[in-house]
Each structure stands twice: as C-alpha cells, then as structure tokens.
C-alpha cells in the first residue's frame, strides 16, 4: 500500500493533538473463530475484539471502520482500519498496548496517524485477496485452518488462463451480492492462478468485491482445473443473470485479504 508505506515512515514523528489521534492501522487475524469482521448483536467478531481492546487501553469507547467486511472464517493479512483515539502517549505505545490485550488470533501490525481525510473504506483504490487450495491427496492438519483441501489433481495453468477473462470491468451478478445498493459491476485489475508444490493460489485484485464473490469464482475455477468446465464456459458465466452457477462457494478458511491499496 503505497500511501500507507509513506505514512508509516512518520510513525515516530507523530505529534499529539489535544489528546486525539486520527489513526490508521493494519490488522492481521485468523478468522477461524470469528463470525466475520463486522460487529454483530451476538457472537465473536474481529471488530468487536479490536473495539474491546481499544476501550480497555484508552478507557473510552471507540468505533473503528474497516476497508472490508470479511465474512465468517475469512482471514486477513492486510486489513486496514481507521478510528479516532483519545490517547496521551506516542502512538507506538498504543500499538504495543493493544497487542498486549488483544486475543492471540488478532494483531495490529502497523499503526500510525492517518493522512487528512483518510477513510479506510472509501479512500481505498483496490483490494487484494488470495485463496489457497491444498491440492494433496492426504489432508494436512497443519494447513486445516488456512487452506481448502481439494484432493483431486488441478490444472493450475488452465485455471490461470480462465482468470484472464476476468480482467476489466464486468457485471459479477452471478458471483455475489453487493454489500449495499444494487450495483454488481466491479473492475478486476489482476487475476491469476499459480501452483507451488501442493498449494494452488488464486490471486485477485479489484476495485471492490461483492459478498461471496471470490469464493464463488474459485469454486468455478476449480471446475476448470479439474476439466469439468472449459475456460471459455467459465468466462461465459459472467453473462448469467442468476446465481445458479455450476459450482457453489468454496469454504471460507482458504480466503485471505492480503492487502488494501490506496
């Protein structure tokens, strides 16, 4: 995240402003035990965990805003949040204090003063997701929480060729639901698939994503990789005006929000 990287360099030079900071932070979490990022009336959420930690450290209730509302079981390496904090010490101390009280499956990786007018969601230019498939015959207990086990051999090169048809602006109605409104057009900036040993990675970057969009795309890409669907027919799914695609969404544990670009 180019803007984020530039701002992080000012971390140690941040000055106090009446005890209030407009803060941006990069958060990493294992989403296995959470009902998603967004706070809910009941159940454990990542937002709820972070706001609980902020209240404990600052002694003030604080609402945070995220770049994306990941679903239940989805992970993040580069989730970005912003919030206004009452804090009378350097921001590096706030990062340390938060990590001291947060649950072990959530961590604040970077924290600094946000640029003027910065908004974690609306300032974002694109988001990058990676879906990881463990394509080995025998399941791997160590990879259970962060990959989807698919034992049948996959042709990652065929999947990569199919991904090329996703580039550009398309109506992804068949693959997901808009978080608000009715607009289902999204611009795919980068799409590809690669294999490293038994791990197959589907990498997607777009200006924004629909709910379940990545997981439904991957489910149908797996059909391409297994030979059940041609690359041409996969791209043809974009013309559907219903959501009855050949494959349903793959499980959440293989999905990770890796980066938000500003």
Interval 88-141: pLDDT, tens: 999 999 999 999 999 999 999 999 999 999 999 999 999 999 999 999 999 999
User: Three-state DSSP class for 262?
Assistant: coil
pLDDT at residue 9, rounded to an integer: 42
Question: In degrees rounded to 5, what are phi and psi of residue 129?
Answer: -120, 150
Looking at the 3D structure of the chain, how many domains does it have?
2
Lookup: tokens for 65: 């805003």
Specify whether 78 is located in the same domain as 199. no
> The domain containing residue 14 runs over which residues?
2-113
Low pLDDT (below 50) residues in the chain: 1, 4-16
Specify whether 248 is located in the same domain as 139. yes
What distance in Å separates the CA atoms of residue 184 and residue 238, rounded to the nearest whole number? 11
Specify whether 251 is located in the same domain as 150. yes
From 5, 18, 30, 71, the catalytic residue: 71
pLDDT at residue 7, rounded to an integer: 42
pLDDT at residue 11, rounded to an integer: 39
pLDDT at residue 15, rounded to an integer: 43
Specify whether 180 is located in the same domain as 255. yes
H or E, element range at 194:
strand 185-196
Q: Based on the residue annotation, tell me whether 155 is a catalytic residue of this protein.
A: no
Q: What is the pTM of this model?
A: 0.91
């Amino acid at each position: 995240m180019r803007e984020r990287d530039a701002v992080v360099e000012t971390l140690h030079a941040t000055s106090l402003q009446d005890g209030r900071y407009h803060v941006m932070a990069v958060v990493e979490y294992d989403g296995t035990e959470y009902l998603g990022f967004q706070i809910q009336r009941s159940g454990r959420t990542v937002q709820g965990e972070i706001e609980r930690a902020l209240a404990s450290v600052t002694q003030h209730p604080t609402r945070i805003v995220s770049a994306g509302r990941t679903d239940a079981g989805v992970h993040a390496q580069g989730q970005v949040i912003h919030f206004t904090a009452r804090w009378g010490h350097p921001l590096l101390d706030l990062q340390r204090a938060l990590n001291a009280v947060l649950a072990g499956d959530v961590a604040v990786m970077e924290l600094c003063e946000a640029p003027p007018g910065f908004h974690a969601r609306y300032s974002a230019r694109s988001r990058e997701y990676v879906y990881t498939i463990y394509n080995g015959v025998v399941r791997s207990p160590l990879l259970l929480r962060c990959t989807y086990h698919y034992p049948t051999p996959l042709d990652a090169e065929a999947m990569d060729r199919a991904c090329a048809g996703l580039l550009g602006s398309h109506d992804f109605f068949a693959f997901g639901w808009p978080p608000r409104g009715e607009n289902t057009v999204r611009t795919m900036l980068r799409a590809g698939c690669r294999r490293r040993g038994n791990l197959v990675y589907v990498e997607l970057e777009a200006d924004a994503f629909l709910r379940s969009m990545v997981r439904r795309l991957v489910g149908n890409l797996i059909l391409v990789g297994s030979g059940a669907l041609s690359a041409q027919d996969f791209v043809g799914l974009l013309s559907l005006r219903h959501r009855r695609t050949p494959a349903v969404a793959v499980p959440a544990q293989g999905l990770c929000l890796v980066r938000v670009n500003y």
